[in-house]
Amino acid sequence: MNDVSRLPGSAHHHWQWQLRAACRNLGPGRFYHPAGERGEEREDRDEAAKRVCAVCPVRAACLEHALRTREPFGVWGGLTEEERRALPGQTGRRTVAAHAGAGHR
């Protein structure tokens, strides 16, 4: 079970950014890999997700959310779970801003 203690409160302003997300109506299949997916298929799915993130107006907010809550799965803010775990100082705003504007992979 996920640890929900790091999630922001239920206040509307904590979640408002999601309404403007480029992925809002795309469904989760592009952003979360199925169990056992490896190699080229996973890389292709990740790259497709990152293309959506690259033009997203709320990419930095999305990445900040994923880092703050330690989101364990999926592509958030243009980074895979492995890429997010590899970031030093995951919760710092400078880290979020620097990576939200940079191209990855």
Q: Classify each residue of 67-104 as buried b or exposed e, where b means 16 or more C-beta atoms within 10 Å of its C-beta.
A: bebebeebbbbbbbbebbeebeebeeeebbeebbeeee
Kindly tell me the sign of the dihedral angle through the C-alpha atoms of 15, 16, 21, 26: positive
4-43 per-position pLDDT tens digit: 666 655 655 667 889 999 999 999 999 999 988 899 999 9
32-83 per-position pLDDT tens digit: 999 888 999 999 999 999 999 999 999 999 999 999 889 999 999 999 999 9
Tokens of 9: 């409160």
62 is in an annotated binding site: yes
- The answer to whether residue 2 is domain-embedded is no
What is the pLDDT, as a whole number, of residue 93?
45
23 is in an annotated binding site: yes
- The answer to whether residue 12 is domain-embedded is no
Into how many domains does the chain fold?
A: 1
38 is in an annotated binding site: no
pLDDT band at 95 (very low <50, low <70, confident <90, very high): very low
Domain housing 96: 22-100
Give the C-alpha separation, 104 to 7, whole Å: 26
Whether 55 and 24 have beta carbons less than 8 Å apart is answered as no
66 is in an annotated binding site: no
- The answer to whether residue 3 is domain-embedded is no
